């Protein structure tokens, strides 16, 4: 097994980069339109990922928003932007799965940076066991320049089972399996940690140390997980702050740990340790148990 090292991130570029960008909120207010452009904000994410809208399957209509935003400069008069639904590149059906409450256009008020395209989702059509349904939209016309890099985008509608307990607060971490990459040692140690909510079905364990028994001074990390229809696992790939070579990553397991959505007194999280096989021992599932204090 390769030797495990901890990763140190040094912000050596910060002094050279801070002078390259305007501070947030400093865009100019313009009478003309030469310096302005519009775009869809936060629809397509880095790495080709789509923005995700979580829809809790509770029988209620869910409302979502996609923002149309200015870049460069805001305007002293209202700006109306036209958009259209791209049915060919969508799996959701307008009028069946969802409905736009806007009517093909949205107006950004004078002096404002953005305005929402609002839609409502019928949660009866979402099945958490299936692939998310997608909605693709594009900006088609505006009296200012359209940023073609972000003129269109696709977002996902993800069905979530209702979670009636909080799953937040102080918890004691217990090992169920131990760490294969760490020779069977404790994954995060048997310590009391704070769990915070970051969304409808997402939570974060604050300030845990991966393989504390290694005793090499590795920094603490925040471990994010999701509660998905009675199974809990890692929320996407995450860095561990340890490395054998390039860096050990955590990732979601196909079968997560078991939890009761009505009882947050104790639950298990199963995730994949070393998803990229950084240490040469393969990617293996590990399970921890959290017990409320």
146, 41: one domain: yes
pLDDT range class, residue 279, cuts 50, 70, 90: very high
103, 89: one domain: yes
Q: Give the pLDDT confidence of 87-141 residue by residue, as tens digits.
A: 999 999 998 889 999 889 999 999 999 999 999 987 766 777 677 889 999 999 9
Which residue range(s) make up the domain with 186?
5-11+164-292
Q: Are 50 and 101 in contact (CB under 8 A)?
A: no
Structure-model confidence comparison of residues 42 and 173, the more confident one: 173
d(CA 66, CA 119): 8
Return the exposure string of 252-283: e unless at least 16 CB atoms fall within 10 Å of the residue's CB, then b: bbeebbebebeebeebbbbbbbbbeebbebeb
Residue 213: give its domain's CATH number.
2.40.128
d(CA 51, CA 45): 6
45, 140: one domain: yes
Whole-number pLDDT of residue 288? 98
Q: Are 150 and 46 in contact (CB under 8 A)?
A: no
Whole-number pLDDT of residue 56? 74
80, 137: one domain: yes
Residue 132: give its domain's CATH number.
2.60.40.2030
Q: Are 217 and 250 in contact (CB under 8 A)?
A: no
Structural domain ending residue among the three candidates 133, 160, 187: 160
* Tokens read off for 50: 């789509």
* Residue 107 belongs to a domain: yes
Structural domains of the chain, count: 2
Nearest by Cα to 204 from 212, 192, 193:
193
pTM: 0.60
Q: Name, in order, each residue with C-beta under 8 angstroms of 16's C-beta and a sequence gap of 6 or more.
A: none
Q: Are 248 and 181 in contact (CB under 8 A)?
A: yes
Q: Give the pLDDT confidence of 33-59 residue by residue, as tens digits.
A: 456 899 998 765 555 556 777 777 766
Whole-number pLDDT of residue 129? 65
Structural domain ending residue among the three candidates 127, 160, 193: 160
* Tokens read off for 152: 């269109």
Structural domain ending residue among the three candidates 160, 193, 220: 160
35, 118: one domain: yes
* Tokens read off for 210: 């991966």
Whole-number pLDDT of residue 89? 93
Q: Give the pLDDT confidence of 178-220 residue by residue, as tens digits.
A: 999 999 999 999 999 999 999 888 999 999 999 999 888 899 9
* Residue 26 belongs to a domain: no
* Residue 105 belongs to a domain: yes
d(CA 219, CA 215): 11
């Amino acid at each position: 097994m390769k030797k495990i090292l901890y990763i140190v991130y040094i912000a050596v570029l910060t002094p050279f980069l801070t002078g390259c960008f305007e501070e947030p909120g400093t865009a100019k207010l313009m009478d003309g339109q030469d310096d302005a452009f519009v775009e869809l904000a936060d629809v397509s994410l880095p790495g080709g990922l789509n923005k995700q809208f979580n829809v809790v399957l509770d029988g209620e209509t869910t409302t979502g928003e996609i923002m149309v935003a200015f870049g460069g400069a805001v305007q002293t008069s209202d700006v109306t932007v036209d958009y259209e639904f791209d049915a060919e590149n969508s799996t959701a059906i307008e009028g069946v799965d969802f409905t736009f409450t806007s009517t093909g256009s949205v107006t950004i008020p004078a002096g404002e940076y953005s305005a929402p395209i609002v839609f409502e989702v019928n949660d009866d059509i979402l099945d958490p066991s299936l692939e998310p349904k997608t909605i693709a939209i594009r900006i088609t016309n505006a009296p200012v320049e359209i940023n073609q890099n972000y003129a269109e985008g696709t977002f996902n509608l993800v069905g979530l089972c209702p979670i009636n307990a909080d799953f937040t607060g102080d918890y004691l971490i217990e090992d169920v399996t131990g760490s294969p990459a760490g020779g069977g040692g404790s994954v995060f140690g048997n310590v009391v940690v704070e769990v915070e909510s970051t969304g409808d079905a997402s939570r974060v364990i604050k300030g845990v140390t991966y393989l504390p028994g290694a005793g090499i001074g590795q920094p603490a990390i925040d471990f994010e997980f999701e509660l998905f229809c009675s199974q809990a696992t890692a929320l996407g790939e995450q860095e561990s702050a340890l490395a054998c070579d390039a860096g050990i990553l955590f990732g979601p397991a196909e079968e997560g740990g078991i939890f009761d959505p009505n009882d947050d007194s104790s639950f298990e999280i199963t995730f994949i340790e070393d998803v990229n096989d950084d240490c040469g021992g393969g990617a293996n599932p590990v399970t921890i148990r959290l017990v409320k204090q």
